[in-house]
Each structure stands twice: as structure tokens, then as C-alpha cells.
């Protein structure tokens, strides 16, 4: 059974625009992490946000966390073609539990 999910399921934007995707979860968490998956490859870790943090930045990535709403968002600014991938949140603490992912397509 799915304990959370990302939305939207798919997102297409023009290169240079910002992309925002969201993650909702149902359990309490210690931290939440975002991963990227390029087509056919394994997941790669992007960023971690702790439960006592509200916002975190890393390069063109900005993550927010609202524990009262049990949700997180990932913003990718100034998108590039290389950002085309699927994005997953992990809210499972030590158990690594993922949502269904957001498939992001950047149109050149």
C-alpha cells in the first residue's frame, strides 16, 4: 500500500522555467529526502531536509517541508534539458519508502 505520493504525476515545462513538484506522506518523519531517476537508471540522492527544518537550498534546488500538512515541495529553478527525469521523495526514515514519482520533461 502506498503511504504517500508525489504530484503531479507528470510535468512538462519549457527550458528556463521553474518546476515545482510536491510530496505528501501519511506517517511521522525524522527527515525527508528527494531523489532523481534518469530513464532506466538507479535513483540518485538530491537533498535531505530534517523534520525541524522548513526550507533548504542546494544550487538550483529548493525544498520546503510542512510537517503539519505532511507535505514537501521541490522547486527546480531555471530548468535545463538535463533535469528531465523522474523525481521521488523518500519519507520512510530508515526504511526508504517512496511515492510514485513525478516525471519531469524539460522542452528545449
Partner 1 sequence: DAEITQSPRHKITETGRQVTLACHQTWNHNNMFWYRQDLGHGLRLIHYSYGVQDTNKGEVSDGYSVSRSNTEDLPLTLESAASSQTSVYFCASSKGQATSFAFFGQGTRLTVV
Q: Which stretch binds partner 1 (CB under 8 A): 26-34, 54-62, 63-71, 74-82?
A: 26-34
Radius of gyration of the chain (CA): 13
Q: Give the integer Cα–Cα distance in Å for 52 and 101.
A: 24
Task: Supply 108's cell numbers.
Answer: 528545449
Q: Which stretch binds partner 1 (CB under 8 A): 18-26, 58-66, 72-80, 98-106?
A: 98-106
Q: Which of 1, 14, 52, 68 binds partner 1 (CB under 8 A)?
A: 1
Site for partner 1 in 40-79 (CB under 8 A): 40-45, 48, 50
For residue 71, the cross-strand partners are 24, 66
Amino acid at each position: 500500500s502506498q503511504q504517500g505520493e508525489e504530484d503531479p504525476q507528470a510535468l512538462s515545462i519549457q527550458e528556463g522555467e521553474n518546476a515545482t513538484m510536491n510530496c505528501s506522506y501519511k506517517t511521522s518523519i525524522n527527515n525527508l529526502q528527494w531523489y532523481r531517476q534518469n530513464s532506466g537508471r538507479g535513483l540518485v540522492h538530491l537533498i535531505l531536509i530534517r523534520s525541524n527544518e522548513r526550507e533548504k537550498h542546494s544550487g538550483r534546488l529548493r525544498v520546503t517541508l510542512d510537517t503539519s500538512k505532511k507535505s514537501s515541495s521541490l522547486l527546480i529553478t531555471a530548468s535545463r534539458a538535463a533535469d528531465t527525469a523522474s523525481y521521488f521523495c523518500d519519507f520512510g526514515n530508515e526504511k526508504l519508502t517512496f511515492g510514485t514519482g513525478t516525471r519531469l520533461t524539460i522542452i528545449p
